[in-house]
Structure formats: structure tokens, C-alpha cells
Amino acid sequence: MINQEISKIFYEIAEIYNLKNVQWKPMAYNKAARVIENLPDDLKAIYKKEGLKGLDAIPGIGKSMSKKIEEYIKTGKIKKYIELKKSIPKGLVKLMEIQGIGPKKASKLYKKLRIENLKDLEKAIRKGKVKNLEGFGSKSEEDIQESVKLFKERKNNKRYLLGEILPMAEELISKLKKLSDTRHAIACGSIRRMYETIGDVDILATGSYKIVDEFCNFDDVKKILAKGSTKASVILKNNLQVDLRVVKDDVFGSALQYFTGSKDHGIKLRRIAMKKGYKLSEYGLFKRNKIIVCRNEESIYNRLGMQYIPPELRENTNEIEMAIKHKIPKLIEYNAIKGDLHMHTKASDGNNTIKEMAEAAKKLNYNYIAITEHSKGRGIANGLSEKNLMKHINEIKKTKVNGLKILSGSEVDIKADGSLDYKDNILKKLDIVIASIHSGFSQSKEKITNRVINAIENENVDVIGHLTGRLINRREPYKINLDEVFKAAKKNNKLIEINSQPDRLDLRDVHIREAIENGVKLVINTDAHSVDSLRLIKLGIGQARRGWAKKSDIINTKSYEEFKKYL
């Protein structure tokens, strides 16, 4: 989709304006980039149908932006963007992709040390020049050095975000399904397992082998890496690799089992099959060369004397042992959420009104939601002053959507000194309080852990938001003692969030499992900044399943009356 390309450009434009110390524009472009990123419809299609007006009508997209989108659709480039890029040294924007280097530091590095790219930066660090720069110091130099290392590792092994790939994979699958020769088409590999990042897309199809040719002729295909009669590997225009495999209907189950992986899970399963005198392959389960089963995955697992294992658990982290003992729990279902408790509206840095968010939530069959703007200290995200929060609570109370309970809440900052950004007398007025860390990331483990525990012990706090603060591919989690946090959450009966934003997915799978083992209850939220992002909930549910979560572990699967007891 062209959306991803444009949203990337807008993010970059925001960075450049940031670097140039331009006011407002960075925020506007970031916001627009995020809207576009989450838009379900193709911008090209909107433009084709409704022209410039259609683009203008998208919330969060200003007039000058829709013109730029039009220009990109028509010409494949944006002049202003090229101009902007030329106006600053080439490597500088790239430099800001390194954790710990924001616009201020990047421009200082450039102005004082003539650092324009990664190479310059590494050289300057080697020579010990960076630590002598005002505002840097040895600690900061060390952090930057570490980030450079991570950055380079990432570049060499690029993995995409699940949330970024899932819509593209779904689009490809639906295109394949429209071909007259296709019967089944399904994404396997890491996508089917809902792993947080994706190396490449694997698609399994059944039907006539003609599909392979038709697939290679798709518009989006830039390059064919390999092509045979039953399979093909291609690179799409957005540089994503897709592997397609076509099999006969009667081996669909065993092929699906094989290509879903993970590799380690597959290897272990094959070993167990062998011990029992079977042979398991992508073509089926065999005994003395006689085929036993292969039509569906369930029967393969059952024949091997174990429970069916959902794809999200297939990582060889003792799921096979548990399946043999029939101890795989019934995981939370993708339709189990009854209310989303973390979202932003126009009042802070979101794109839609309370009413619009509520109506969109109603369409998802939710029974309740919470509106949770940022608190006053988050200037950059337009956090609410106490006075504006009071007004906002009134607005929320006035908003009515049939059959939907709308809670007034806040995502209150846990400040660097450990205190909360609103006083208790303010927090008391809210139905639900989420406390999150947005600053002081480089503090010691002890300090950060204590900040969070302090928030947990505050009687007005209900939920801890995106607990580890990581941004996948961009920022490592801060140092925090999760074990202590989980114990405190359990003791104080507080909830911990699974944030569904594609680059957060925080808590992550292994930590979800640990939290549950510690008896901690969780909620799955989207942290949506627009109506479209409410649908990201499936990413969070996917992680919850990967973390072995049952419905009863996730409190926002409960009816409103039941849920209220936890607040």
C-alpha cells in the first residue's frame, strides 16, 4: 500500500522540522503520519474515488498535506520533501534514529563537531570528543555508543513490525483468494504465530498451480527471487519478501503445521513423532510409509498423543510437554475484549472526538471504554492542565452512546522524581487512572522500579501503562525489576497493561507469562489516537495468547459490573 510509503515520508518531514527547531509542524506531521499508518483504506483508492476532497476529509490531514499526498500519488515524489532533505546534511536524520539522539543533540553534534553521519559519530566517539561536548558527558557517550551498536545490528537484520505487516499480508491473501484458481490461502510462519516482528511473509495456498504465475504478476511485485511450479519467492515494491507455496488440498493440514513453525517447535515435534514410530513431514504423518493423517493440524497433534497447540504458543518454550500432559489452557479469544481502557482524543494528542471514539468502540461491540488523555507535564503530547481535565470530564459525562459506558480517566505521568503528575484530590475524581513512565528513561534500575511501585501503591492508580517503555526496533526497555513490580501489583490488586501499539506491544509475550505466573491480572488496551487504531487490539490479544493468557487473566473481558470491582 502507498500509505506506508507516505507515512514514512511524513515521519521524516516531522524529524527534519524538528531538527530545524520549527514549532508545531513536527507534531502535525507526526500525527498525520500516524493517521495514515493506521488508515484501513488505500490513499490511492480514496483519491481515485473522491479526489483531493476525499484526502482533505481524513481527520488529522491538513490541506497542505493532502496536496503533498496528491503529488506523491501522481508523480511518485514530493518536491517539498526533497527540498527539506537537501536543506540539512544527509546523515543527520538517520542519526536521530539512534536511541538517545534527538534533534537537539543531533544539531549540536553537527554544529560543534561536523558530525553528519554514523561513521563520523563513531570516529568522534573513538577519539573521545563527544563526552567533552556540553550537555553530553561520559555516561551519555557510553549510552550513545551502545545505541550505535544496536542500531547497526538492526540494520543488518531488518525485521518489520507485526502491526505493519499484518494489513499488507491480509491484502495479499484477499487478492489471492479472488483468483479463480485458489481454494485456500493463509499466512503462516511468524505472522500466524503473531510474533511481534516479521522477517518475511509466508503464504500457503491450495488450488491449481497456476496461482504461482498469477501471484508473480501482481502489481506489487518488484523482483522474483525464485520461481518453481509450486512455489515462488518475491520481493514487493516495499522491499518485503513473500514466499508462496501451493499444495494439494489433501496435505493442507500438514503443510500448514510445517510452515507455521516455529522451526524449533517443528523440530521437537518431528523428534517426538519419530520416537513413536511415525515420520512427520510437510506432506503428512506416516507410519511405515503409510499415510495416517494430514488434512488438519488437530489430528496431527492428537495422533502424536497431545492436545492441539495454538499457533501463538509454538515457540518450543515447553508447550509440547504441556500438551502431552493436557495442560494447555484455553487461551483468551480474539473477540473476548469488552472494553478498551486507554485512548486519546483531540483534547490531547488524538485525532478524533470523544463521541467519534465512543461510536467506533460501539461498532466493535464494546460495552465500556475509558478516555485517558495525557497529564499536564506532557507538553509535547498536549497534556491537560487540572482545569482542562475538569472540563474534559464534563465533556465525557455529557457524551452518550447507547449501550456504551464511557469512563473518564487519565494517563498520568509517573514523573522522574517518582511522584504523579496530578495530585490525589484530582486523581480521585477520575473513574480510572493509568500511570505511565514517559521520561527519566536512563535512571538506575532501582530508581525506576521504585517509581513504578510508588505508583502502584497509590490508592488512586488502577493500571500501569506500557510497563517497560520499549519501542520495538527503536528503543530498548528501561532497566526495571519486573519481579518486584509484579509482586507489588499482586499485593495491591493493581492491573498491568498490555499495550497494543505495533511498536510497543508492552508487556511483551514472555513478561505476560511471568506476570500471570505471579498471579497478576492484566488489561489489553490500544492506546488509540484515532478511531482506526481501536482495531489494533488484536495485536495485544495475540501477545496475550503468546503469553498463555486465559480469559480470566484479562480483566477487560469482564462485564462492566464485574470490571468495576477491580477499580
Which positions touch Ca ion (CB under 5 A)? 189-190, 200, 202, 243
By rule CB under 6 A, what string of x and - marks binding of each residue 143-182 to ligand DGT? ----------------------------------------
The distance of closest approach from Cβ of residue 218 to ligand DGT in the complex, given in angstroms and rounded to an integer, is 19
Supply the DSSP string of 172-192, one letter for each residue.
HHHHHHHSTTEEEEEE-HHHH
Map grid coordinates 563527544 to a residue: 130
The dihedrals phi and psi of 51, each to the nearest 5 degrees, come to 65, -160
The residue range among 22-30, 48-56, 257-265, 427-435 that interacts with ligand DGT, by the rule CB under 6 A, is: 257-265
- Which of ligand DGT, Zn ion, Ca ion, none sits in contact with 262, Cβ below 5 to 8 A by type? ligand DGT
From residue 211, give the alpha-carbon distance in Å to each of 184, 186, 214, 235, 254. 11, 14, 5, 17, 20
* Residue 447: φ, ψ to 5°: -65, -45
Question: In terms of Cα–Cα distance, which of 13, 45, 41 is closest to 27?
Answer: 13
Give which of 407, 428, 436, 433 is closest to 340, Cα–Cα. 407
Residue 43, burial from CB neighbour count under 10 angstroms (0-12, 13-18, 19+): buried
Q: Which of 527, 531, 543, 555 binds Zn ion (CB under 5 A)?
A: 527
Give the Cα-Cα-Cα angle 502, 508, 509 (nearest 5 degrees): 115
Amino acid at 307: Q
User: Which residue has the CB atom at the shortest distance from Ca ion?
Assistant: 189
Residue 411 interacts with Zn ion (CB under 5 A): yes or no: yes
Residue closer to ligand DGT by CB (options 60, 189) is 189
CB of 382 to Zn ion, least distance (A): 12
With CB under 5 to 8 Å by kind, the binding choice for 259 among ligand DGT, Ca ion, Zn ion, none is ligand DGT
Binding mask 295-314 for ligand DGT (x = CB under 6 A): --------------------
Give the nearer residue to Ca ion in terms of CB position, either 143 or 202: 202
d(CA 374, CA 436): 10
Please say which residue, 221 or 336, places its beta carbon nearer to ligand DGT.
Answer: 221
Task: Mark the segment that binds ligand DGT (CB under 6 A) among 137-145, 194-202, 271-279, 356-364.
Answer: 194-202
Distance in angstroms (rounded) separating the CA atoms of residues 466 and 451: 14
Query: Among Zn ion, Ca ion, ligand DGT, none, what binds residue 527 when CB lies within 5 to 8 Å by partner kind?
Result: Zn ion
CB of 162 to ligand DGT, least distance (A): 9
431: cell is 473513574
- Name the H helices within 292-398: 297-303, 319-324, 354-363, 386-398
Cα 472 from Cα 504, distance rounded (Å)? 6
271: Cβ contacts below 8 Å, ≥ 6 apart: none
Q: Which is nearer to Zn ion, 265 or 344 (CB)?
A: 344
Exactly one of 267, 274, 380, 390 binds ligand DGT (CB under 6 A); that residue is 267
Give the Cα-Cα-Cα angle 382, 383, 386 (nearest 5 degrees).
135
Q: Starting at the edge strand that comes first in sequence, how are the strands of the sheet with 279-281 ordered? A: 279-281, 284-287, 290-293
Residue 189 Cβ, how far from ligand DGT at the closest point, in Å? 2
Nearer to Ca ion, 230 or 302 (CB): 230
Which of 253, 261, 310, 383 forms a contact with ligand DGT (CB under 6 A)? 261
Query: Is the Cβ of residue 26 or residue 502 nearer to ligand DGT in the bound state?
Result: 502
Task: Tell which one of 101, 172, 198, 369 touches ligand DGT (CB under 6 A).
Answer: 198
Q: Terminal CA-to-CA distance of the chain, rounded, Å?
A: 42
* DSSP string covering 193-209: TT-SEES-EEEEEEE-T
Among 103, 189, 207, 350, binds ligand DGT (CB under 6 A): 189
390 binds, among ligand DGT, Zn ion, Ca ion, none (CB under 5 to 8 A by kind): none
- How many other β-carbons are positioned within 10 Å of the β-carbon of residue 483? 11
Q: Which is nearer to Zn ion, 202 or 411 (CB)?
A: 411
d(CA 123, CA 130): 10
What's the rounded Cα separation, in Å, for the pair 270 and 276?
A: 10
CB of 261 to ligand DGT, least distance (A): 2
- Choose, by CB under 6 A, the member of 259, 278, 422, 486 that binds ligand DGT: 259
User: Where does this chain touch ligand DGT (CB under 6 A) — which range of 58-66, 166-174, 193-201, 285-293?
Assistant: 193-201
C-beta of 143 vs 297, nearer to Ca ion:
297
- By CB under 6 A, tell whether 553 contacts ligand DGT: no
Q: Are 279 and 302 in contact (CB under 8 A)?
A: no
Partner whose binding site includes residue 48, from Zn ion, Ca ion, ligand DGT, none (CB under 5 to 8 Å by kind): none
| Segment interacting with ligand DGT, rule: CB under 6 A, options 138-146, 254-262, 297-305, 324-332 | 254-262
| Contact status: 349 vs Zn ion (CB under 5 A) | no
Which C-beta is closer to Zn ion: that of 188 or that of 528? 528
Cα 314 off chain centre by: 20
Nearer to Ca ion, 188 or 549 (CB): 188
* Interacting residues toward ligand DGT by CB under 6 A: 189-190, 198-200, 202, 258-259, 261-263, 266-267
* Interacting residues toward Zn ion by CB under 5 A: 411, 527
